[in-house]
């Protein structure tokens, strides 16, 4: 058990972490930008330190300032919350090198499951169904055309390091594919600093089901049921619902078992989410894993009563 932790975030998630820490008798250190000096998380934490100017690049993404604040206040751990540095494996490694516990999965797991192509291959090896598509990064439009011919149209091009719907293009024919492939690469490079893309069969009118995972450092992993996030706009989730009205008990059991199996195969620890797509024939496929707590985690908390 920690006696004091630093929260490298702001807003709702920082307040939730502070509340949990107070219930557990753990002291908290808030960090804040100059613009957030009067924010609630600053007022409710036991200690607070300013880490920079209002732009997040100069404060909440300013790793040297955050580590300095952690060392000055003599904390044992840093909780990243969600967003900002929550899925930054390099930041987690820096914490470890400074003998500060990063509250999240190990950096090697963050890197593995944060790369969508590597995560798909990991799922395939673990016996979890994946959407048919390329088995490696696709670098040339000629290769893209060959893959599309093999898996059949429509196909979707995705950024390997992507998220939030960026670097994605749906194609229904060869002509569209060539232009979309180059556009997706440019978008991926601009948004994520990584132009790698891969290709999958496009699942039309899918249901989007995600399972909440919790793992400790002793190899014990459980799931807390699913959230249905099918209702989206531009690949951004609008509504989260649990239990899902789209799956039955048998499907729920199988998907949950496979989610836990995949998490165990990479020695996952802490909170995470494993996402599946289900097609119109009720076949489901692993899509990606979020190696952090998600914004929508309170939906699961309301049903399970688990904090």
**Which residues are known catalytic residues?**
292
Contact criterion met (CB below 8 Å) for 223 and 259: yes
Secondary structure of the chain in HEC code, one letter for each residue:
CCCEEEECCCHHHHHHHHHHHHHHCCEEEEEEEHHHCCCHHHHHCCEEEEEECCCHHHCCCCHHHHHHHHHHCCCCEEECCCCCCCCCHHHHHHHHHCCCEECCCCHHHHHHHHCHHHHHHHHHHCCCCECCECCCCECCHHHHHHHHHHHCCCEEEEECCCCCCCCCEEECCHHHHHHHHHHHHHHHHHHHCCCCEEEEECCCCCEEEEEEEEECCCCCEEEEEEEECCCEECCEECCCECCCCCCCHHHHHHHHHHHHHHHHHCCCCEEEEEEEEECCCCCEEEEEEECCCCCCHHHHHHHHCCC
């Amino acid at each position: 058990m920690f006696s004091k932790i630093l929260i490298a975030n702001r807003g709702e998630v920082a307040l939730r972490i502070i509340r949990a820490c107070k219930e557990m008798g753990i002291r908290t250190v808030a960090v804040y930008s100059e613009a957030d000096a009067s924010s609630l998380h600053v007022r409710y934490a036991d200690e607070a330190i300013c880490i920079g100017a209002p732009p997040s690049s100069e404060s909440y993404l300013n790793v040297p300032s955050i580590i300095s604040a952690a060392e000055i206040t003599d904390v044992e751990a840093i909780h990243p919350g969600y967003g900002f540095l929550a899925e930054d494996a390099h930041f987690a490694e820096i914490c470890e090198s400074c003998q500060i516990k990063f509250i999240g999965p190990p950096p090697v797991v963050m890197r593995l499951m944060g790369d969508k192509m590597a995560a798909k291959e990991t799922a395939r090896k673990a016996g979890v169904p994946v959407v048919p598509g390329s088995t490696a990064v696709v670098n040339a439009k000629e290769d893209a055309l060959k893959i599309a011919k093999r898996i059949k149209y429509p196909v979707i091009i995705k950024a390997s390091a992507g998220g939030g719907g960026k670097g994605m293009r749906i194609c229904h024919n060869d002509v569209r594919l060539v232009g979309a492939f180059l556009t997706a690469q440019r978008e991926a490079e601009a948004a994520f600093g990584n132009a790698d893309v891969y290709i999958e069969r496009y699942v039309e009118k899918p249901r989007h089901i995600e399972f909440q995972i919790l793992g400790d450092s002793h190899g014990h992993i459980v799931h807390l049921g699913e959230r249905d996030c099918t209702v989206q706009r531009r690949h951004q989730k609008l509504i989260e619902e649990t239990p899902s009205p789209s799956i039955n008990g048998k499907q729920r059991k199988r998907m949950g078992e496979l989610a836990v199996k995949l998490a165990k195969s990479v020695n996952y620890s802490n909170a995470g989410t494993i996402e599946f797509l289900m097609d119109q024939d009720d076949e489901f496929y692993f899509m990606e894993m979020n190696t952090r707590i998600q914004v929508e985690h309170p939906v699961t908390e309301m049903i399970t009563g688990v904090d």
